[in-house]
Amino acid sequence: MESASSIKKRHTAQQAEELYDKMIARASAISKRERDYSRCMIKNGLGRILE
């Protein structure tokens, strides 16, 4: 039979893993938004320079 402390450790490790996954997903979503924004700013900037 599994002890209470080993169950708690496993549960805590699982929570940490889920939090890490959420942080990675959020970071990649932010970097995608930043790339899109940068791409838009570059296009707008080049458009103004070429006019």
Instruction: Tell me how far apart the alpha carbons of residues 22 and 50 are, in angstroms, rounded to a whole number.
Output: 42
pLDDT at 42: 76
Give the torsion sign (CA, 10, 13, 17, 22).
Answer: positive
pLDDT tens-digit series, residues 1-51: 778 888 788 788 888 888 888 888 888 888 888 888 888 877 777 666 655
How confident is the model at residue 1, as a pLDDT? 73
pLDDT of residue 38: 81
Task: Give residue 50's pLDDT.
Answer: 59
Tell the residue number behind the tokens 């599994």, with chain if given. 2
